Structure 1
């Protein structure tokens, strides 16, 4: 109860302060009433869906949109608050100074014209995140991008020169609300005509049943050398309050069965050779291994126990912290690791080839795109789906296509 009281106090303070900027620019009383009506509706809807909420009871589309609308309302108002507060840093000391130097002769609003100017600037700046978040909720979450990379390896078997793989990650099927958009994305994946499709975990939010409506969508995925997958932290059902251990285990078995029906070969701490023209590369899949409290079911040594140290190796591991903490320093040289998990936080600023930023960088050293250490590469996929916040802003859903080339990079 206390946290809700604190939340409401903070929200009201932000709202009242932001309203000062709104009122300075918008004089119409009815529009001002609309401002408060929207605020009351959004915060009321959020409290209705989240008061007494327990994550283990499930996260519905209504929960997602209640959270999304709150973010759409709160972030622009925070921008207004910051703008007005920054102006007060200059205005309030001047007002105090005039009071003590002029006394009762000091009349009127201090810097009133500048206050209105600052209000207009603040409203203009606040409109940017408002428009971005609304776009992210209604369009951005299905704004699929195909990102293509070419990686060179001197020890790549010659038969695999030009070999293409498509990576997808973090489908989170329970979050989808538009099956036609998902069908479009599956068609987009198939259009890449890669040799193999690799999925790096989190196919559901919590329960296997979430995947059932999309089984006949994802089973359209095709690749000459097949489809392979690993489990992510959400796939185990750890975030659900199951009635028994047996029910939880049955859910996981159901998930494995659906993946098999789709056509995925699920690698559970095991390996598989991909062969071409008498040569081969090792595909290694570990179960989820994550730092910071996430499940550590992955066993790299077990997964690689049936391959050779000098094999060319592609590792599928859901959480990029596994690469940081175990893979790079392992005796086996893992040429390419494929991960996901971070979603790029579904929020950030990115100019391809020039600049990328997201708050998630403060949690994960490797959070989106290609990284290289000690001659080993990792690609952290930004995710196919979305979770909690029902949208994406600046960090779009990703389909990765990686072409393997033999030899050194030539300039």
Structure 2
């Protein structure tokens, strides 16, 4: 009986420690992930171009303005040419938590910061969030694109409206987009990569949404939301398209992270000699 009680105490302590770690330690343990990518249509003038991607901020009682300011500090330390923010700036209650996003005003990127909204943004107050982001210098792309120049060469940054909320209009993007040169797609939901790849027009898609599952137990399948199940974490090759799905920096319910640290992604772009 005593041995059984000791065993149960050990199990209880172990469970308590794991939960404490998942609640208090790992959610704040930011992982800066370096991702080199070669884009076949990238002009040589953009060789070494640095994009920092951050996604799924989920401003709430945990992701405060001070926490987000720390994330912004980490972003700026990466010396980005451009910052890409791929949605879910809040979980809910945009009126309450949109002011947290004022911390993004301190982003420092040579060519600016660009964003798309996510499903949670679209389900709350998308116009308020769009206006808040624009007020701090973030260009929100909803079925639009922006051109970055290096001399006479161009890099196109496109973004679609949220796919789950049926706000995406890929044909509208394609109608506007120049027919040649490197193009990057921002889409909150990673599984949209199948549609992006089918166009043959984009070299890279950046997404979030899945959080990498937030809690990952070895030998068990990651639990991720709809439209985040095919490409849930990291880098994939989808036809000629590179898809990258970041684990994000915030959390949705439950507010736990285990074996799935929050992520700031630094993508360094490389050109080929045949780029066109």
Alignment of 1:368-383 (within 5 A): 368-383=233-248
Q: Counterparts of 1:281 and 1:153 in 2: how far apart (Å)?
A: 11
Tell me the equivalent position of 1:306. Answer: 176
Alignment of 1:73-92 (within 5 A): none
Q: Counterparts of 1:177 and 1:312 in 2: how far apart (Å)?
A: 34
1:210–1:305 Cα change, 3 Å: farther
Q: Which runs of 5+ in 2 are unaligned?
A: none
Work out whether residues 361 and 367 of structure 1, in 8 Å CA contact, stay in contact via their aligned partners in 2. no
Q: Counterparts of 2:223 and 2:102 in 1: how far apart (Å)?
A: 36
Are 1:327 and 2:201 matched, yes or no?
no
Q: Deviations over 1:173-199 (max 9, x none)?
A: 024255433322210111001100000
Are 1:218 and 2:218 matched, yes or no?
no
TM-score normalised to structure 2 length: 0.89
1:298–1:177 Cα change, 3 Å: closer
Secondary structure, counterpart of 1:304 in structure 2 = helix
Tell me the equivalent position of 1:55. Answer: none
1:344–1:279 Cα change, 3 Å: same
Secondary structure, counterpart of 2:175 in structure 1 = coil
Are 1:24 and 2:16 matched, yes or no?
no
Work out whether residues 146 and 398 of structure 1, in 8 Å CA contact, stay in contact via their aligned partners in 2. yes
Are 1:164 and 2:50 matched, yes or no?
yes
Q: Counterparts of 2:238 and 2:253 in 1: how far apart (Å)?
A: 32
Work out whether residues 122 and 162 of structure 2, in 8 Å CA contact, stay in contact via their aligned partners in 1. no
Look at both structures and tell me which one has the larger radius of gyration over its CA atoms.
1
1:278–1:23 Cα change, 3 Å: same
Tell me the equivalent position of 1:30. Answer: none
TM-score normalised to structure 1 length: 0.61
Pick the structure with more helix per residue. Answer: 1
Q: Which has the higher contact order (CA 8 A, sep 6+)?
A: 2
Q: Which runs of 5+ in 1 are unaligned?
A: 1-20, 27-119, 239-250
1:149–1:207 Cα change, 3 Å: same
Question: Which of these residues, 255, 260, 273, is aligned with residue 390 of structure 1?
Answer: 255
- RMSD, aligned CA: 2.5
Work out whether residues 271 and 304 of structure 1, in 8 Å CA contact, stay in contact via their aligned partners in 2. no
Work out whether residues 169 and 200 of structure 1, in 8 Å CA contact, stay in contact via their aligned partners in 2. yes
1:154–1:345 Cα change, 3 Å: closer
